[in-house]
Amino acid sequence: MYFQSRAEAGEQLAVQLFEKYRYENVALVAMGDGGVAVGEPIAERLHCILTLLVSEAVTIPGEGQSFGAVSQTGNFTTNSDLGSAAVDGYITEFHGYFEEQKRQAFHRVNQLIGDGGVIDQALLQDHVVVLVTDGLNDTTTLDVALDFLKPVRVQRLIIASPVASVELVDKVHLIADELHILDVKANYLDTDHYYEVNDLPTHEETIAKINQIIANWR
């Protein structure tokens, strides 16, 4: 399945969610800029808050694989696809490097979001929380979102995405209370491949938009 745009895909997800959740306390958490584009029509249909969780990945030297990511709270979440033995080995070998990369990653996040931040856990408390993305194929981004939500008491956790890989669906169906996935791919390509239009705003423009949405909501 291919989509004309992220907004069009979001409309399809909104139709699925509307009947059950139009009268519920719902909060959308976008995992990335593309998730904001998908989440906007859902938030409009459900009349709910749309927020963005910003994170920065830390990669393993010489391998290009994600070791984990730093969220806007400063917490570092290790890539759950790595076994504990592998994690321990990488930490032993690259401890100083990882600590410096975490510091730089957190600095970049703070520069992006500014003083106000873009998400407040209090806005999510006792809500039906929908994690929304434009493509579910990034374990690290999902790990960060789940770690961020650990201290939040939610009514239900829903994961919504127009397209997802088989591997990620197998993983999240054990975690979420409900999944809304329009298409599952055995051989997942780059997320942009599934959209005819890929004219996303810049990261800075997306964050500015989200901060304005939250300011208006409050």
Domains parsed from the chain with CATH numbers: 6-53+118-217 (3.40.50.2020), 57-113 (no CATH)
Q: Match 């959308």 to its residue by tokens.
A: 28
Per-residue pLDDT of the chain (218 residues; tens, 9 = 90+): 899 999 999 999 999 999 999 999 999 999 999 999 999 999 999 999 999 998 999 999 988 889 999 998 889 999 999 999 999 999 999 999 999 999 999 998 888 777 556 777 888 999 999 999 999 998 999 999 999 999 999 999 999 999 999 999 999 988 999 999 999 999 999 999 999 999 888 888 888 888 777 777 76
Strands (E) located in the chain: 26-30, 49-52, 55-59, 66-71, 76-78, 128-132, 156-165, 178-185
Contact 36, 69 (CB under 8 A): no
Residue 57's pLDDT is 92
Q: Which residues contact 104 (CB under 8 A, 6 or more apart)?
A: none
Question: What's the rounded Cα separation, in Å, for the pair 68 and 156?
Answer: 26
pTM: 0.90
Q: Compute CA distances 89 → 56, 92, 111, 132, 151, whole Å.
A: 22, 5, 31, 33, 29
Residue 115's pLDDT is 57
Question: Interhelix angle for 203-217 vs 33-46, to 10°?
Answer: 30
Strands (E) located in 97-145: 128-132
Question: Interhelix angle for 33-46 vs 6-21, to 10°?
Answer: 40
Q: Compute CA distances 14 → 41, 57, 72, whole Å.
A: 7, 30, 28
Question: What's the rounded Cα separation, in Å, for the pair 85 and 54?
Answer: 28
CB count within 10 Å of CB 158 equals 21
